[in-house]
Amino acid sequence: MTGHIPLVDLAAQHAAVADEVAEGWAQVLAKTAFVGGPQVAAFEAEYAAFAGVANCVGVGNGTDALELALRALGVGPGDECVVPANTFIATAEAVARTGATTVLVDCDVDTMLINVDAAAAAVTDRTRVVIPVDLYGQVAPIPELRAVLPERVAILEDAAQSQGATRHGQTAGSFGDVAATSFYPGKNLGAYGDAGAVTTGNAELAERVRLLGAHGSPRKYEHPVLGFNSRLDTLQAVVLSAKLRRLADWNAARRAAADRYTALLADVDGVTTPVVADGNVPVWHLYVVRVADRDTVLGKLHAEGIGAGIHYPTPLHLTGAFADLGLGAGAFPNSELVAGEILSLPLFPEITEAQQQRVVSVLADAVRA
């Protein structure tokens, strides 16, 4: 078998919801009501129920969701927020945009999730929030963090990659004081453009997020606080409601595909398959293996038409964006080690067994050579 196997293939998902989306969009277009409206409220209620929380506020994107959650918690200049060094940059950008200081910490070398002891050790008098990231689709050790962090330190769960994942039966987006998620098109629940949400059991916090994301305005032209504009578009809400109805099935298909990779790779020397933390049922936003001489292996996969990727090639402290933290190579050994070895294999709900066999066969050849 030959041919291109993409990292993510969104076409099949669109085909599944195309009619429903067309019908829903026609209703929005007929009313020319593009911001707010019953579609947004309906999706918020549906997503809250899915995540097992009382409140969901739709916002413009996942980065805004993180920033709004931080602002709602009162974070600002002079405060510190603890963030894993091995995450997508948005987690730390949101902290920077509040004016607070990003304090990076290392990950566990096996699960690549935030290291609980490192997070606890990074807490100072100025620490307001710790932001564990549900990286690659498995919930971070948030109950374990809660157990060791001082009560005054809040937890913001970055659930951008974990829609539908569970840890000991509890669903992602319901951990910590508040959670932020992203509906960027390539996420497990993807919109047709940018979108995101904040979820929380705390109704007051949810109202504060809603206020801050709507120009600080509870009623038209009243602005008791300074906010900004970050709303979930009505057209996106229609897409998200249609896709949410299928998300459990799509996540189950991802799990089956992940299990198949793990089985196929069991006998392949030189490839370390993902480690799932105790109690976790991941949703496999990404299936990330580790190999030596990763860049060579990646080159061979690309040469064979296999759309493997790296999430993420550079730990945050080694990016230009966070150079002013003054942390050089060696600051976070685990994050730096895994950044050189990680390789994301093609994974999407509709990937076929034949496609996965081909990925594994090319990968096995590449690591052997």
Ligand X SMILES: *Cc1c(COP(=O)(O)O)cnc(C)c1O
Task: By CB under 6 A, name the one of 69, 85, 90, 339 that touches ligand X.
Answer: 90
Q: How far is the CB of 160 from ligand X (least distance, A)?
A: 3
Task: By CB under 6 A, name the one of 88, 136, 250, 312 that touches ligand X.
Answer: 88
Alpha-carbon distance of 70 to 190, in angstroms, equals 23
Q: Which stretch binds ligand X (CB under 6 A): 9-17, 87-95, 114-122, 204-212?
A: 87-95
Q: Is 309 in the site for ligand X (CB under 6 A)?
A: no
Residue closer to ligand X, measured from CB, 185 or 270: 185
Residue list 21-80, contact with ligand X (CB under 6 A): 61-63
Q: How far is the CB of 87 from ligand X (least distance, A)?
A: 5
Q: Is 362 in the site for ligand X (CB under 6 A)?
A: no
Q: Among all chains, which residue has been given the structure tokens 């070895």?
A: 341
Q: Is 158 in the site for ligand X (CB under 6 A)?
A: yes
Q: Is 312 in the site for ligand X (CB under 6 A)?
A: no
What's 295-339 look like in SS3?
HHHHHHHHHCCECCECCCCCCHHHCHHHHHHCCCCCCCHHHHHHH
Q: Is 196 in the site for ligand X (CB under 6 A)?
A: yes
**Annotated catalytic residue 243:** no
Q: How far is the CB of 247 from ligand X (least distance, A)?
A: 16
Q: Is 164 in the site for ligand X (CB under 6 A)?
A: no
Closest CA to 309 of 283, 281, 279, 345: 345
Alpha-carbon distance of 163 to 246, in angstroms, equals 12
Task: By CB under 6 A, name the one of 182, 234, 344, 356 that touches ligand X.
Answer: 182
Residue nearest to ligand X (CB): 62
Residue closer to ligand X, measured from CB, 127 or 182: 182
Beta bridge partners, 290, equal: 272, 342
Alpha-carbon distance of 5 to 353, in angstroms, equals 12
Q: How far is the CB of 222 from ligand X (least distance, A)?
A: 29
Residue list 106-145, contact with ligand X (CB under 6 A): 133
What b/e sequence results for 182-191 when a residue is b if at least 16 CB atoms lie within 10 Å of its CB, and e otherwise? bbbbebbbbb
C-alpha 321 chain-centroid distance: 20
Q: What is the DSSP string of 174-201?
A: SSSSEEEEE--TTSSS--SS--EEEEES
Q: How far is the CB of 89 from ligand X (least distance, A)?
A: 8
Do residues 317 and 330 make contact, with C-beta atoms less than 8 angstroms apart? no
DSSP 225: S
Q: Which residues bind ligand X (CB under 6 A)?
A: 61-63, 87-88, 90-91, 133, 158, 160-161, 182, 184, 194, 196
Catalytic residues: 187
